[in-house]
Amino acid sequence: MPVTANTGIVGLFEDRRRQLLLRGRAETLATVSILSILLFASARISEFLSGDYGDAPLARVAEFLQRMNPHLKPALLFAGSGAQGSLAYWFYAFPKWARALFTSVEMAIVATAVGTVLAFLISLLMARTVTRSAAIRQTTRWLPNLVRTMPGFIFAMLLVQAVGSGPMAGTLALTCTCFAGLARPFAEILENADVGPMESVRAAGGGRCAQIRYGLLPLVAPNMLTYVFAWIEINVSASTALGIVGAGGIGQELAGALAYNQFDSYLAIMIMIAMVVVGADLASEQIRHRLFGLRQAR
């Protein structure tokens, strides 16, 4: 196929390309070096590479797994709780643990509910489409961001000092993190929402409240609920850990099991936690199916 070559253009292109290639390679080299240095430094500081693994580290791992092993005997699987090797023996404190898990789930639900409401309210103040005053927006923005930077357990510990140990402190702590975590996504959803419907309500004579209620909410509700559902799962997982600082729930049972060196009980509780969180996952997926139709639910 006859093609009239314009070597001028090709030459120019190759020059520029070489330039960019070199620059790109230099950048890559710099990035890789920095990352390597950081990696090495962090490995040193966290004593990952210190080499002192004690004697026979693999044996210790094996021993650890052995201690978690409940030594189930197939013949005795369904025997009573007195019989070593049965499921009942392994899950000997099942009622107590179930109750504690239930508490943890309750904590998560209440925290998510209250946190959602609070986050929604503050997001209204943070969003450009709802609040016209830039001053209000800027001042309200820093609160959730501040709360977000702190790990949840700090709140839990401080609240335990304030209201005493128990699930109340944990719920309040979860509420704080949930509120902070939802505020920003809510605000973004509100800002990215199409203002069209709101304006048409305004054109029909609706006041601010009506505009929000009829023009904005139906639009943003599905997106917001997606985040809420994600946070329910996060909260259920987090609430199980909070018990460790005395903030109620299954965490306290976990700490107790370790205090008595009952590794197999620990494993039993971990399995129960896994089942509950997976259950919460599935339940929320079902609810999302119903509410939004198959297309939106993941």
Partner 1 sequence: MTAAADTRDVIARAQRVAAQAMAPHHGGRVARWAAWGAGLAALVAMGGDLGFSSERLLSGILRAGHLITLMWPPTPAGQAAAIFKALGQTIAMAFLGTALVVVLALPLGIVGARTIVQQPVVHFLLRRLFDAARTIPSLVWAMILVAAFGLGPRVGVTAMVLAETPYLAKLFAETMENRRQGVIESLQAAGATRLQVLRYGLMPEVLPLMTGKALLLFESNIRASAALGLVGAGGIGVLLDSRIELLQLDQVAWILMLFIILVLTIDLSSQALRRRLINAKSYNLKGMDADA
Partner 2 sequence: MLELHNLRKSFGQKVAIDGVTLRVERGEMVGIIGRSGAGKSTLLRLVNRLTDADEGEIRWQDRDISRINGRALREWRAHSAMIFQRFNLVERLDVITNVLVGCLHRHPLLPSLIKSFPAEDRARAIIELDRVGMADKALQRTETLSGGEMQRVAIARAMMQQPSLLLADEPVSALDPFNANGVMNALVAANKERGITVMVNTHTIDLARCFCQRLIGIRAGRIVFDGPPSQLDRGLEAELFGNAMLRQAA
List residues binding partner 2 (CB under 8 A). Answer: 1, 3, 5-6, 9-10, 13-14, 16-17, 20
- State the minimum distance, in angstroms, from the CB of residue 282 to partner 1: 9
Query: Read out DSSP for 260-279?
Result: TT-HHHHHHHHHHHHHHHHH
Q: Does 56 bind partner 1 (CB under 8 A)?
A: no
Query: What is the per-residue binding string for partner 1 in 161-180, x denoting contact by CB under 8 A?
Result: xxxx-xxx--x---------
Residue number with CB closer to partner 1 (169 or 198): 169
Residue 69's region, left for phi above 0, alpha for psi from -120 to 50, else beta, is: beta
Q: Which does 5 bind (CB under 5 to 8 A by kind): partner 1, partner 2, none?
A: partner 2
Per the CB < 8 A criterion, the answer to whether 271 and 91 are in contact is no
124 makes contact with partner 1 (CB under 8 A): no
**Is the CB of 13 or the CB of 78 nearer to partner 1?**
13
Does 8 engage in binding with partner 1 (CB under 8 A)? yes
Helix (H/G/I), strand (E/B), else coil: 73: coil
Give the Cα-Cα-Cα angle 181, 228, 193 (nearest 5 degrees): 85
Q: How many helices (H) and strands (E) does the chain have?
A: 12, 0
Instruction: Please work out, in degrees rounded to the nearest 5, the angle formed at the alpha carbon of residue 278 by the alpha carbons of 272 and 284.
Output: 135
Label residue 44 exposed, middle or buried (CB < 10 Å: 0-12, 13-18, 19+): exposed
CA distance 136 to 23: 45
Query: To the nearest whole angstrom, how small is the minimum distance from the Cβ of residue 31 to partner 2?
Result: 18
Which stretch in 44-52, 131-139, 183-191, 207-215 sits in contact with partner 1 by CB under 8 A? 44-52
Q: Which among partner 1, partner 2, none contacts residue 241 (Cβ within 5 to 8 A by kind)?
A: partner 1
198 and 148 Cβ atoms separated by less than 8 Å: no
Burial class (CB in 10 A: 0-12, 13-18, 19+), 146: exposed
> By C-beta, is 6 or 50 nearer to partner 2?
6
The stretch near partner 1 (CB under 8 A) out of 7-15, 71-79, 193-201, 207-215 is 7-15
Asked if 101 interacts with partner 1 (CB under 8 A), we say no
Among 18, 25, 67, 289, binds partner 1 (CB under 8 A): 67
**Torsion angles phi and psi, residue 284, rounded to 5:** -70, -30
CA dist., res. 247 & res. 206, Å (int): 47
| Helix, coil or strand: residue 166 | coil
The distance of Cα 149 from the centroid of its chain, to the nearest Å, equals 14
Binding mask 266-295 for partner 1 (x = CB under 8 A): x---x--xx-xxx--x--------------
For residue 228, state whether it binds partner 1 (rule: CB under 8 A).
no
| Among positions 83, 88, 98, 109, the unique one binding partner 1 when judged by CB under 8 A | 109
14: partner contacted, choices partner 1, partner 2, none (Cβ within 5-8 A by kind): partner 2
Residue 244 identity: I
- Check if the beta carbon of residue 276 is closer than 8 Å to that of residue 101: yes
- Binding residues for partner 1, per CB under 8 A? 6, 8-9, 12-13, 16, 20, 38-39, 41-48, 60, 64, 67-68, 103, 106-107, 109-110, 113, 145-146, 149-154, 157-159, 161-164, 166-168, 171, 237-238, 240-241, 244-245, 248, 251, 254-255, 258, 261, 263, 266, 270, 273-274, 276-278, 281, 298
